[in-house]
């Protein structure tokens, strides 16, 4: 039987780990050259070659329109013009709505790919690197996702694995994985911790109680459109504004290669300002005047500018922390530890905000870049037949799941922070004589007042209802939430026990 690896499938970078050896230590799986992370980037070059990871990143400045990055944010999401506009402000690949569905697709090299197909390219690369390292085929994994991923996004990750023959045995939340990396083997009494996870593309915050090897999530929250790329984008805006001040009428946004060079340096400068108070922001020959004269970017960037431009983003993370602590009914200053996960948590302003809110400095006991992959590997090892590590994860759903009622409101079936796995049964009656079908629209989100403001998970139709007068046939619908937080449904005639035939719009797609 092949080994089970743990994969942190990140927005910016991905990482894999495995438990191996007689000492049963977690080891990060290295890529050639000794790198432990693989950029979550997929590209097609001008010769039609597919590139993934470091190879794709090396050419993205010169090939921005055929280089896909940051796409994890769009996985499982419905096509939304406002979201697409925000993507197009800083990313240069094409985003489309799939014909006949609301699915988001991206354009690359005259092809259109669904987001699970893009993610499958990253997973396949990780799968190959792990197989080379372990000298054995890899076809099973535990994969982490943001805690705030909804049902459709989790389904999309499962689909991505299936495309490349990778059986994703479990999907676990990134903060929960980080808690495993922190808590397994400590042999402590009960502790309650906060996981503050600010990565390249998403933010999560979870309150988790650890009782030996039982990890129980009390409450969770987050934002899939808040992460390092948003901090980068604020710097990009500052650069463009400063450049236009010196060169009025010169619009760099219309030049994808120039924008990609700015984006690349913005990310590196942001990282530099973690340790330094200021740095030069210089890009020679960024564009040319109508007369053919070269123009440079020559600016001085300070930590003060970065912090001023991103103060509201840091504030949004604290707003989420405040809500999650309220949901958990816990005083933030009473927690035993606060763990920082994700590269953006190295930013001094973020650390200061976290310290101020929780009343204690964050713990240094986990590596922000490695904790999620390490925790995923630990849980993967616990699933091995010969493993002596047994852990129990008690997780929750991040957002309510419900159906649209007659007034357009969300009738909650599962409330936010309800435990998974979970099962509920609701009974519906026919509303017209000889009704043949029962239709319902299932949503997931935090807006209880307007159902359509939430994410539509699917339009379910149960057919084959026994013909009878209105109100006489009772249909019992079973809503089953898996341990991965994925919803399945079935229905039967409550009086006869006859199963209903189900069809689903927005269901699982098949990919070539």
Which residues have CB under 8 Å from 282's CB, separation 6+? Answer: 296, 297, 298, 299
**Chain CA centroid to CA 320, Å:** 16
pTM value? 0.94
Residue 509: pLDDT above 70? no
Which H/E stretch holds residue 263? Answer: helix 256-272
The CATH architecture annotation of domain 228-308 reads Alpha-Beta Complex (3.90)
Mean of pLDDT values over 103-129 = 94
Per-residue pLDDT tens over the stretch 320-355? 999 999 999 999 999 999 999 999 999 999 999 999
The CATH architecture annotation of domain 4-226+313-395 reads 2-Layer Sandwich (3.30)
Rounded CA gap, 17 and 25, in Å? Answer: 10
Q: Would you tell me how many other CB atoms lie within 10 Å of the CB of residue 122?
A: 27
Residue 291: pLDDT above 90? no
**Residues forming a β-bridge with 379:** none
Show the CA angle centred on residue 440, arms to residues 435 and 445, nearest 5°. 165
CA dihedral 368, 373, 374, 378 (to 10 degrees): 150
Residue 112: pLDDT above 50? yes
| SS3 per residue for 341-379 | ECHHHHCHHHHHHHHHHHCCCCECCCCCCCHHHHHHHHH
> Do β-strands 422-429 and 474-481 pair in parallel, antiparallel, or remain unpaired?
antiparallel
- CATH number belonging to the domain at 397-505, selected among 2.60.34.10, 3.90.700.10, 1.10.3720.10, 2.60.40.3500: 2.60.34.10
Mean of pLDDT values over 294-315 = 97
> Do β-strands 13-20 and 4-8 pair in parallel, antiparallel, or remain unpaired?
antiparallel
Mean of pLDDT values over 233-257 = 93
The reply to whether 4-226+313-395 and 397-505 are identical in fold is: no
C-alpha dihedral sign at 315, 319, 320, 321: positive
Reported as a pLDDT band with limits 50, 70 and 90, residue 508 is: very low
**Strand segments (E) across 303-364:** 337-341
Which tokens belong to 347?
A: 């930013």
Per-residue pLDDT tens over the stretch 126-182? 999 999 999 999 999 999 999 999 999 999 999 999 999 999 999 999 999 999 999
Per-residue pLDDT tens over the stretch 35-69? 999 999 999 999 999 999 999 999 999 999 999 99
Per-residue pLDDT tens over the stretch 10-40? 999 999 999 987 677 899 999 887 899 999 9
* CB burial string 131-152: b at 16+ within 10 A, e below: bebeeeebbbbbbbbbbbbbbb
Rounded CA gap, 216 and 191, in Å? Answer: 11
> Do β-strands 191-198 and 167-173 pair in parallel, antiparallel, or remain unpaired?
unpaired
Active site residues: 8, 72, 174, 197
Residue 505: pLDDT above 80? no
Domain boundaries, the chain: 4-226+313-395, 228-308, 397-505
Which H/E stretch holds residue 220? Answer: strand 214-223
């Amino acid at each position: 039987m092949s080994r089970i690896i743990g994969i942190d499938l990140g927005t910016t970078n991905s990482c894999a780990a495995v438990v191996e050896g007689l000492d049963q230590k977690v080891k990060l799986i290295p890529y050639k050259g000794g790198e432990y992370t693989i950029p979550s980037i997929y590209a097609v070059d001008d010769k039609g070659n597919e590139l993934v990871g470091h190879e794709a990143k090396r050419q993205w400045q010169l090939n921005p329109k055929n280089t896909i990055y940051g796409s994890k944010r769009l996985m499982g999401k419905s096509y939304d013009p406002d979201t697409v506009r925000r993507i197009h402000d800083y990313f240069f690949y094409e985003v489309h709505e799939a014909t006949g569905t609301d699915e988001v697709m991206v354009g690359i090299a005259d092809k259109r790919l669904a987001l699970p197909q893009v993610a499958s390219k990253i997973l396949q690369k990780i799968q190959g690197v792990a197989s080379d390292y372990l000298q054995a085929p890899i076809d099973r994994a535990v994969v982490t996702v943001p805690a705030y991923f909804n049902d459709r996004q989790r389904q999309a990750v499962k689909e991505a694995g299936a495309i490349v023959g990778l059986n994703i045995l479990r999907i676990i939340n990134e903060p929960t994985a980080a808690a495993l990396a922190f808590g397994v083997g400590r042999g402590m009494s009960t502790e309650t911790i906060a996981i503050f996870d600010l990565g390249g593309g998403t933010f999560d915050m979870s309150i988790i109680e650890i009782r030996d090897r039982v990890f129980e999530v009390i409450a969770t929250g987050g934002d899939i459109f808040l992460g390092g790329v948003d901090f980068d984008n604020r710097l990009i805006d500052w650069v463009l504004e400063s450049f236009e001040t010196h060169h009025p009428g010169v619009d760099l946004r219309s030049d994808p290669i120039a924008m990609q060079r700015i984006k690349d340096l913005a990310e590196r400068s942001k990282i530099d300002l973690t340790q330094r108070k200021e740095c030069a922001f210089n890009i020679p020959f960024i564009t040319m005047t109508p007369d053919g004269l070269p123009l440079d970017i020559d600016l001085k960037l300070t930590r003060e500018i970065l912090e001023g431009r991103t103060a509201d983003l840091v504030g949004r993370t604290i707003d989420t922390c405040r809500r999650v602590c309220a949901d958990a009914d816990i005083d933030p200053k009473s927690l035993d530890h606060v763990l920082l996960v994700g590269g953006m948590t190295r930013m001094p302003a973020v650390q200061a905000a976290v310290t101020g809110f929780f009343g204690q400095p964050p713990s240094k006991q986990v590596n922000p870049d490695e904790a999620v992959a390490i925790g995923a590997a630990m849980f993967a090892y616990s699933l091995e037949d010969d493993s002596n590590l047994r852990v129990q994860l008690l997780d929750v759903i991040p957002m309510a799941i419900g159906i649209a009622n007659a007034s357009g409101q969300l009738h909650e079936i599962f409330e936010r922070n309800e435990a998974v796995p979970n099962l509920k049964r609701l009974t519906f009656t026919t509303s017209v004589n000889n009704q043949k079908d029962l239709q319902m629209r299932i949503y997931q989100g935090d807006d209880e007042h307007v159902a359509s403001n939430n994410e539509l998970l699917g339009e379910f139709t149960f057919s084959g209802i026994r013909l009878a007068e209105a109100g006489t046939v009772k249909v019992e619908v079973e809503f089953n939430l898996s341990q991965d937080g994925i919803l399945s449904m079935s229905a039967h005639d409550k009086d006869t026990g006859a199963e209903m035939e189900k069809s689903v719009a927005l269901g699982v797609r098949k990919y070539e």
